[in-house]
Structure formats: C-alpha cells, structure tokens
Amino acid sequence: MEDYSNRSRFQRSTRSIESVTHNSRRELPSSLKRSRNAEIEDLGHLRSQMRIGVPKSLIDRFRRNNSLTVTDFANSVGTRKLKVPTVAAEDIWAVKFMNFIISADELLTEGLTREVPLVGLVNDVWVNGAIDEVQMPFGRRPQRPSLVETKTHSRPTGPSEPTKTRGRFQLMLYKHLWDIIVIRDFPAAQFFNDFVLNPQHTLSEEVQQTATSLGFSAKTLDDLVMHYGSTRRKLPPASDWLQLRFEFQEDSSLPKEEYFEYDAELLMNQIENILKFWKGERKARYVSREERWKCDYCHFKYECPSGNNTSHYKGTTGVAVAAAALAGRYGVQAWQAFKARPPSARMRKFYEGGFQPTMTKREAALILGVRESVPQEKVKEAHRKVMVANHPDAGGSHYLASKINEAKDVMLGRTKGSGSAF
C-alpha cells in the first residue's frame, strides 16, 4: 500500500530503501508449527493470558502482543538450528533464543552462520526476523560481521529496481536490529509484558535437555534470556557495508551482486514514516501502477479502495479486521476463501444496501479462530472474545459485529441470519 516511487533519491542511490515488510512469509521449522501457517508472531492459540483491549490503531489491532517482522530469508544449508517439539509460547521463544546462541557460536568459531533470528525494539516497536547469512572476516580489523541477504528471482535479466530497493531496506533494517541487540541491554521485563509471557514458566523437558546439550542449564524462560544476554554481548556491531545477492531461480546462478553502505539517517526517516501509518498517525498511500505486484503481499488487499481488488464483491470489506482480534492470519484466509467463491444465487442481505453469499461453517470457524468440531461452549467463548475487541463501543463497527455474530450463528447451527447484539 506504500508508494515510494516518487522518491528519486531512493531509486538512484545504491543506498536507497523501500518499506518495512510487516508480514513475514517465514515459517517455523515443521516441528515447531501448530498449524500449516503458524509463525513465531502468530501465537494466538497459545495465549491463554491474552489481554483484550480497545484497538486504537493498526499496530494495536493487527500486532497486539506481537512484533512487526522483517521479511523472508533464504536457504538453510550449512546451519545446525534446533528442531525441538514445543507446546507453550515460552518454549517457542526459548528455541528462538537458543538458535541465536548457536548462531553466535558458529560465527565466532567457524566464521559463517545462516538464519540468525533477531528480535529487538525499533522506535519502541518490537521487530523480529532472521538474517540470511552472517560472515566474520577474521583477517580484517576492526573485526565486524558482514551481513548478506540472498534473493531469488525468476528473470535471468536481473531484479527490477523496486525489488533491489526492497532488498536494500531489508538488509539495512537487519543491520540496525543486529546493532541494537549486541550494543544495548535487552529489555527483558518489557519483552515478557508485551508478549504476555511468564518469565518463570518451566520449559519443557525437551527444551531443557537441549539447553544442557549446548553447555548451559536453563529451567525457565528467564534463565534462557540471561544466557542469551551473555552471548549477544560477545558479538561486535555489524559492518556498515552490506551485501545483497540476487539468485536466478532456474539454475541458482548469481547474475547480480551489490555492495552498498548503511545509511542510518535514511533508514530511520523511512522507519518513522512507516510507523506513523501503523500507529494511525497518517493515512496510507497507494503504490504506483508499476509496483502493484506489492498488493499481492498486503493484508489489506481486500479492503483497499485503490481498485486493485478484482473480486466479485468489491464493496464488501472488513472481515479480516474483525477476525484479527483473535484468529489472526486465519481471518485473512477465511476472507480470501469467502470472496474467491464464484457468484451464487444463494445470497442474503446482511445490512442495508449490501449483499453477501451465505457464510460456510469453515469460514465461520476461521473467523472465530476455532475448529469446526468444537463444543458450543468454545464457540460462545471465542465469539465473546472477538466481539469484545470489535464492539462498536470499542472502536469496531456494526458491520464487523454482524459478521462476528453470523459466524457464531453458523457454528451453532442456527439457520437465521446474524442478528444485532446491540
């Protein structure tokens, strides 16, 4: 949704940047996933202590108790990252911190590591991601790690300028995150509070055994964060010179490699501008026609009035917002599935002036964040939580509430349309 094409400075300079990509396409290792699309920042099914509040901005509504993310990373060849069975959110974060400890050891002993997980505060907002590759030039002084990002593309002629701009920004943000982690104190208390984690949570037996195999003892998440802190302090800040590779997908050749210098002022100006949007301090801007491919990766694709949405139901919006209160990304999936269906004669009026196809049970379950076969008590509990966060008195709308009510009615087997709860 962001348009930076009018900033010629970003396009001309090798130090130009594009936008923060807030929705990572990364997935956890298969043994860590609780669902097909689970991610480290999507822990809604693990948060029994989730706090329901009044959504005030996009960052409150879509990333409450979560972090924003940097974007995807490349192959994992040459790594020895952990694959440990986990259940609780605390265990998942423990594995993330242990993987950072492993990466640091690889870097200091072997001079190379991949998929380095990072999490830190950027302008008082949590951001997490994984650096594709970090190299330690042992023969160079000062000894500062070099960050490398590899992007695959389908055209043998090389990447487009918007793709290069996006890659530069991503790598500059990784550099900024790395330096924050190794230089500043980790705000553990704020981390536990913001992510609704219990620092005294007893880690699973598998996680504790894995920690022991790495040479230290960690019974609780707080213990592991302490070891994480001592490890990160051994690392120096990253080099200001960053390497961006573009790999041809068909034969893995490298038709393009680019070195560019980190520009802190340029990066921070762009981050501040982007966060103003997420915090509700400015309106969004449409991308240029040449860059509308970005819309395919945008969570607001089906709500955007730019005209890029070619669905049969352009006038209907908002279910993804309602579902985000509890179901997170599953709400987006439900909305996409709901709108992808062909036109049907089975239509029903749901508010004055608008029509939609009848909601299916699968779509209703996705909106409420439950399984199709859950007991009625679970359906009612999920409905209550989603409705609390999206009630018109809490910043929601009657339209959103009507769809949440409709989802509950479908799950409870009621044949009548969704009624008003007000």
Per domain, the residue ranges of the chain are 8-59+66-278, 299-411
Average pLDDT, the chain: 69
- Asked whether the predicted pLDDT for residue 222 surpasses 50, the reply is yes
How confident is the model at residue 86, as a pLDDT?
58
Q: Which of 20-29, 357-366, 388-397 has the lowest mean pLDDT?
A: 20-29
What homologous superfamily does CATH list for 299-411?
DnaJ domain (1.10.287.110)
How confident is the model at residue 199, as a pLDDT?
95
Reported as a single tens digit per residue, the pLDDT across 348-378 is: 333 333 334 567 887 788 788 788 888 888 8
- Asked whether the predicted pLDDT for residue 338 surpasses 70, the reply is no
How confident is the model at residue 166, as a pLDDT?
85
Reported as a single tens digit per residue, the pLDDT across 81-97 is: 566 665 688 998 999 99
Reported as a single tens digit per residue, the pLDDT across 289-311 is: 777 777 776 766 666 766 555 43
How confident is the model at residue 114, as a pLDDT?
92
Reported as a single tens digit per residue, the pLDDT across 110-138 is: 999 999 999 999 888 888 888 999 999 87
What pLDDT band is residue 396 in, cutting at 50, 70 and 90? low
What pLDDT band is residue 27 in, cutting at 50, 70 and 90? very low
What pLDDT band is residue 390 in, cutting at 50, 70 and 90? low
**242 vs 266: CA distance, rounded Å:** 15
HEC string of the chain?
A: CCCCCCCHHHHHCCCCCCCCCCCCCCCCCHHHCCCCCCCCCCCHHHCCCCCCCCCCCHHHHHCCCCCEECCCCCCCCCCCCCCCCCCCHHHHHHHHHHHHHHHHHHHHHHCEEEEEEEEEEECCEEEEEEEEEEECCCCCCCCCCEEEEEEEECCCCCCCHHHHHHHHHHHHHHHHHHHHHHHCCCCHHHHHHHCCCCCCCECCHHHHHHHHHCCCCCCEHHHHHHHHHHHHCCCCCCCCEEEEEEEECCCCCCCEEEEEECCHHHHHHHHHHHHHHHCCCCCCCCCCHHHHHHHHHCCCCCCCCCCCCCCCCCCCCCHHHHHHCCCCHHHHHHHHHHHHCCCCCCEEEEECCEEEECCCHHHHHHHHCCCCCCCHHHHHHHHHHHHHHHCHHHCCCHHHHHHHHHHHHHHCCCCCCCCCCC
How confident is the model at residue 392, as a pLDDT?
60
How confident is the model at residue 267, as a pLDDT?
92
What pLDDT band is residue 202 in, cutting at 50, 70 and 90? very high
How confident is the model at residue 286, as a pLDDT?
77
What pLDDT band is residue 44 in, cutting at 50, 70 and 90? very low
